């Protein structure tokens, strides 16, 4: 209970800071949409569907998430936020939990822009009929990306070459989630809009839960110096 | 390691002296491979004030970071408010007020937002924020972002932040630096000695800090200790001379 | 621990390897479909399984390090992961050779065992860079231990997901001998090779532990003789 209250306090502070500076979300959106344009030309097809379309949504999202993850503790770094936090009696894991929640919210906000852009720029079949399935898969993917991101950003705290370490650690760790999201979205985005194979959202959910459990056991050790 | 042995520096068995706020024995700390503090023995009773003197780069801020539990010693033993550091760091958290070089405030948040955040971390009622703002006379600036404030106002906000939880140990890193006389008097009153408040006061002003101190620690270059002992054993002129 | 104490283990390893692979070549029957090239199965698969268990073991030592803060468990975590990394390079190489002889390609995305190993290998490639980029030994040990735990949990999940994804598209072709009706002589040979590789892993871990801890003791003595140098130099290796 106390942990949740502190997590909420940190999350509120982070959202306030992001609202005030408003720099991360626009940068992530620009990178993601730019990547979609690149993919459009590298696929070199009039309209894409199925597996290619799933990749066209997931890859820009991954790039944007990488940007978000490497900036996850930027605000804390600028103003010695970890020290501020460690001078209080708050449980150390709470700051990591707040970062995970904040990143998941930022990714969700990003998708509000990204999914329509994807429907306009890349996708051949209409997006509307399959929107609920796409949203469901994306929410699960957000949770996984955010958990991986929180853990990796936590590990990279206090490293000298964060911008090198974070992406090379995030990419392999997210591959199972990306495979599952790709497999889930590919039939949904196919021309006939095949039904969702429930196995894959389940895999995503299980991965997110396992990571969150591991994180809740080991995460607190990352915020100690 | 040659430093004057004093009555203050009696190492070992902190349990035998429950009223000691700080007990350091053979403390070692380094930046990279360069030792900054070495073989430091120190003992400060609860409610006492330690004046921490020394030129730039002699490890004053490092020692304060160690005492706050924000750094881990590389060797020796350190016990602060009855907690062995770094192993019992969790028990120390929330009991130390730290006015550091950095204000430890978010520059994009207002004074009130910063203090409200810290109040939530410390689980203090919101009314405590208003009290502290009142105390530091920041009422008319409370809704300005910290990044827009003058150095003096930032320092006052940092002191207000450090006092928020009414900590048992107050660590002060040059709290009066860059303040005009009026602000300086105001801050000095806020951080003045009080019953039950142990203070470590790092400064470059031997006259002012020795007047308030019970004990003195003068750090020298290359991780040396120039003087450690009661304030009565050293004059401001001696302390001044140790800088050279 | 001294080198002398490791002698029985070393001799056992050599004997097991000789017997195991002797049986693989002269006792186990030639595979009906694949012929002689199937022999690499007795090396490739045990290396893979032992390597994966090594990564998981590294995670367990990492968890112990987080719980107790003991530098020895960090060193154990480091060494078990390091030897598992070497094994996984061997898995990729032997798998590639097998693929080349079986289908004429050095690499196949249809083989989940290989693909999973590539992902796991990429994951663990970041272990040493992570360690090296953290100067403070205590913090380094903690971040590396968290990595070891997370990655140790990641290894089996990754395998399950890759396998699930591959199954949906392609029938598995490669490890027909590993599934279903394995003749008794093949099974016996495989188990013996597996044991040999597992003991080889244990021996390599022992040797590296001994080498690392001896190096640290030597460095610590050098520092004491040298006097001034109190703090160990920056390193990606645990300072146990």
- The tokens 């408040």 sit on which residue? B197
Contact C139, C181 (CB under 8 A): no
Q: In the complex, which subunits touch C with 3 or more CB pairs below 8 angstroms? A: A, B
Instruction: Calculate mean pLDDT across residues B5-18.
Output: 41
pLDDT at C220 > cutoff 60:
yes
pLDDT at B13 > cutoff 50:
no
What is this model's ipTM? 0.91
Instruction: Calculate mean pLDDT across residues A161-186.
Output: 93
Give the pLDDT band (50/70/90) at residue C228: low
Give the pLDDT band (50/70/90) at residue C69: confident
Give the pLDDT band (50/70/90) at residue B230: confident
Counted domains in chain A: 1
CB contact under 8 A, B93 and A86: yes
CB contact under 8 A, B106 and A79: yes
Q: At what angle do helices B151-163 and B181-190 cross, to 10 degrees?
A: 10
Q: What angle do CA B168, B171, B175 make, to 5 degrees?
A: 130
User: What is the model's pLDDT at position C152?
Assistant: 95
Pairwise pLDDT comparison (C110 vs B154), residue with the higher score? B154
pLDDT at B204 > cutoff 70:
yes
Lowest-confidence range among A82-96, C63-77, C180-194? C180-194
Structure tokens at C224: 């004491």
User: What is the model's pLDDT at position A181?
Assistant: 96
Q: How far apart are the C-alpha atoms of A17 and C91, rounded to whole Å?
A: 48
Cis preceding linkage at C237, omega within 30 = no
pLDDT at A219 > cutoff 60:
yes
Instruction: Calculate mean pLDDT across residues B11-24.
Output: 63
Q: Which residues of C touch B75 (CB under 8 A)?
A: 230
Give the pLDDT band (50/70/90) at residue B240: confident
Task: Return the closest-CA partner of residue B179 out of B200, B158, B195.
Answer: B158
pLDDT at A116 > cutoff 90:
yes
pLDDT at A152 > cutoff 60:
yes
* C155 C-beta neighbours (distance < 10 Å), count: 24
DSSP string for chain B: ------SS---S-GGG-TTEEEEEEEEEEEETTEEEEEEEEEEEETT-EEEEEE-TTSSHHHHHHHHTTSS--SEEEEEETTEEETTTHHHHTTSEEEE-SS--S-TTSBHHHHHHHHHHHTT--HHHHHHHHHHTT-GGGTTSBGGGS-HHHHHHHHHHHHHTT--SEEEEESTTTT--HHHHHHHHHHTS--TT-EEEEE-S-HHHHHHH-SEEEEEETTTEEEEEEEGGG--HHHHHHHT-
- Strands B49-54, B198-202: pairing is parallel
User: What is the model's pLDDT at position C223?
Assistant: 74
Which residue in B has a C-alpha nearest to residue C68's C-alpha? B87
pLDDT at A146 > cutoff 50:
yes
Q: Which residues of A touch C158 (CB under 8 A)?
A: 175-176
C193 three-class SS: helix
User: What is the model's pLDDT at position C30?
Assistant: 79
Instruction: Calculate mean pLDDT across residues C164-188.
Output: 63
For residue B73, the distance in angstroms to the closest alpha carbon of chain A comes to 11
Q: Which residues of B touch A81 (CB under 8 A)?
A: 106
CB contact under 8 A, B72 and C231: no
pLDDT at B32 > cutoff 90:
no
Complete edge-to-edge strand list for the sheet that includes strand B20-31: B34-45, B20-31, B75-80, B83-85
Contact A215, A150 (CB under 8 A): yes
What residue ranges do the domains of chain B occupy? 47-58+93-242
Structure tokens at A197: 């194979």
Q: Which of C122, C133, C145 sits opposite A161 (nearest CB)?
A: C133
Task: Return the closest-CA partner of residue B65 out of A11, A87, C65, C94.
Answer: A87
Q: Which residues of B touch A13 (CB under 8 A)?
A: 106, 109, 113, 117
Q: Which of B30, B72, B87 sits opposite C230 (nearest CB)?
A: B30
For residue C231, the distance in angstroms to the closest alpha carbon of chain B comes to 5
Pairwise pLDDT comparison (B48 vs C239), residue with the higher score? B48
C10-40, pLDDT tens digit by residue?
999 999 999 999 998 888 887 777 778 788 8
Instruction: Calculate mean pLDDT across residues A146-172.
Output: 92
Q: In the complex, which subunits touch A with 3 or more CB pairs below 8 angstroms? A: B, C
CB contact under 8 A, A161 and C146: no
Pairwise pLDDT comparison (C69 vs C122), residue with the higher score? C122
Q: Give the best residue of B32, B91, B117 to mutate against chain A (max A CB count within 10 A).
A: B117
For residue C218, the distance in angstroms to the closest alpha carbon of chain A comes to 28
Q: Which of A164, A169, A214 sits opposite C153 (nearest CB)?
A: A214
Contact B201, B51 (CB under 8 A): yes
User: What is the model's pLDDT at position C1?
Assistant: 65
Q: How many pairs of residues across A and C have Cβ atoms under 8 Å apart? A: 96
CB contact under 8 A, B30 and C138: no
Q: Which of A78, A81, A89 sits opposite B93 (nearest CB)?
A: A89
- Residue A132's domain spans which residues? 2-222
Q: How far apart are the C-alpha atoms of B74 and B1, rounded to whole Å?
A: 17
Give the pLDDT band (50/70/90) at residue B180: confident
Q: How far apart are the C-alpha atoms of C22 and C171, rounded to whole Å?
A: 32
User: What is the model's pLDDT at position C177?
Assistant: 46
CB contact under 8 A, A180 and C129: no
User: What is the model's pLDDT at position C131?
Assistant: 93
User: What is the model's pLDDT at position A38?
Assistant: 95
Give the pLDDT band (50/70/90) at residue A225: low
HSE value, Cβ hemisphere, 13 Å, CA-based, for B212: 21
Cα torsion angle, C178, C180, C183, C184, sign: positive
Q: Which residues of B touch A74 (CB under 8 A)?
A: none
Give the pLDDT band (50/70/90) at residue A217: very high
For residue A19, the distance in angstroms to the closest alpha carbon of chain C comes to 31
Residue A67 CA to chain centroid, in angstroms? 10
Contact B33, B70 (CB under 8 A): no
Architecture of domain B47-58+93-242: 3-Layer(aba) Sandwich (3.40)
Task: Return the closest-CA partner of residue A88 out of B101, C163, B89.
Answer: B89
Query: Chain-wide mean pLDDT for chain A?
Result: 93
CB contact under 8 A, B93 and A224: no
Which residue in B has a C-alpha nearest to residue C223's C-alpha? B33
Which residue in B has a C-alpha nearest to residue A220's C-alpha? B90
């Amino acid at each position: 209970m106390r942990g949740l209250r502190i997590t909420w306090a940190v999350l509120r502070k982070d959202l306030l800071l992001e609202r005030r500076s408003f720099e991360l979300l626009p940068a992530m959106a620009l990178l993601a949409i730019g990547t979609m344009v690149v993919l459009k030309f590298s696929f070199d097809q009039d309209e894409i569907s199925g597996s290619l379309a799933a990749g066209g949504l997931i890859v820009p999202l991954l790039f944007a998430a990488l940007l978000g993850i490497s900036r996850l503790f930027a605000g804390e770094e600028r103003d010695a936020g970890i020290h501020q936090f460690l001078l209080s009696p708050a449980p150390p894991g709470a700051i990591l939990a707040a970062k995970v929640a904040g990143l998941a919210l930022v990714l969700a906000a990003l998708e509000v822009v990204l999914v329509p852009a994807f429907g306009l720029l890349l996708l051949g079949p209409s997006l509307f009929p399959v929107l609920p399935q796409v949203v469901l898969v994306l929410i699960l993917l957000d949770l996984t990306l955010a958990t991986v991101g929180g853990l990796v950003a936590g590990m990279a705290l206090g490293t000298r070459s964060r911008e090198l370490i974070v992406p090379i650690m995030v990419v392999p760790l997210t591959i199972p989630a990306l495979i599952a999201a790709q497999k889930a979205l590919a039939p949904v985005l196919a021309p006939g809009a095949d039904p969702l194979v429930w196995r894959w959202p389940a895999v995503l959910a299980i991965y997110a839960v396992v990571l969150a459990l591991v994180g809740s056991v080991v995460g607190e050790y990352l915020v100690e110096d | 390691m040659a430093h004057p042995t004093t009555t203050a520096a009696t190492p070992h068995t902190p349990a035998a002296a429950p009223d000691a706020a700080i007990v350091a024995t053979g403390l070692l700390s380094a930046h990279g491979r360069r030792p900054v503090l070495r073989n430091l023995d120190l003992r400060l009773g609860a409610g006492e004030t330690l004046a921490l003197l020394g030129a730039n780069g002699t490890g004053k801020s490092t020692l304060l970071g160690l005492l706050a539990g924000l750094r881990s010693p590389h060797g020796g033993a350190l016990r602060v408010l009855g907690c062995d550091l770094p192993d019992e760091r969790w028990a120390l958290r929330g009991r130390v007020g730290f006015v550091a070089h950095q204000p430890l405030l978010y520059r994009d948040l207002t004074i009130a937002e910063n203090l409200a955040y810290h109040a939530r971390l410390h689980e203090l009622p919101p009314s405590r924020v208003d009290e502290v703002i009142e105390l530091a006379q920041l009422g008319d600036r409370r809704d300005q972002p910290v990044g827009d404030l003058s150095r003096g106002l930032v320092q006052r906000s940092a002191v207000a932040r450090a006092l928020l939880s009414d900590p048992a140990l107050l660590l002060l890193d040059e709290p009066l630096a860059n303040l005009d006389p009026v602000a300086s008097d105001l801050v000095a009153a806020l951080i003045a000695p009080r019953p039950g408040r142990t203070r470590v006061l790092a400064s470059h002003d031997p006259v002012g800090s020795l007047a308030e101190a019970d004990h003195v620690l003068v750090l020298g270059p290359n991780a040396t200790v120039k003087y450690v002992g009661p304030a009565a054993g050293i004059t401001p002129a001696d302390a001044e001379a140790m800088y050279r | 621990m001294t080198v002398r104490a490791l002698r029985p283990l070393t001799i056992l390893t050599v004997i097991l390897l000789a017997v195991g692979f002797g049986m693989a070549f002269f006792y186990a029957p030639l595979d009906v479909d694949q012929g002689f090239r199937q022999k690499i199965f007795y090396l490739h698969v045990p290396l893979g399984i032992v390597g994966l268990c090594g990564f998981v073991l590294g995670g367990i030592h990492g968890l112990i390090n987080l719980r107790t803060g003991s530098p020895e468990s960090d060193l154990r975590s480091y060494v078990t992961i390091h030897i598992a990394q070497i094994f996984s390079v061997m898995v990729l190489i032997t798998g590639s050779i097998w693929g080349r002889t079986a289908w004429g390609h050095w690499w196949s995305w249809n083989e989940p065992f290989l693909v999973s190993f590539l992902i796991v290998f990429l994951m663990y490639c970041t272990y040493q860079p992570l360690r090296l980029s953290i100067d403070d030994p205590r913090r380094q040990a903690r971040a590396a231990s968290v990595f070891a735990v997370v990655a140790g949990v990641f290894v089996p999940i990754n395998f399950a997901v890759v396998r699930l994804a591959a199954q949906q598209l392609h029938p598995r072709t490669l490890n027909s001998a590993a599934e279903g009706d394995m003749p008794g002589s093949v099974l016996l040979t495989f188990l013996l090779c597996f044991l040999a590789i597992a003991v080889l892993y244990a021996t390599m871990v022992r040797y590296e532990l001994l080498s690392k801890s001896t190096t640290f003791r030597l460095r610590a003595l050098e520092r004491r003789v040298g006097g001034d140098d109190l703090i160990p130099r920056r390193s990606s290796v645990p300072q146990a």
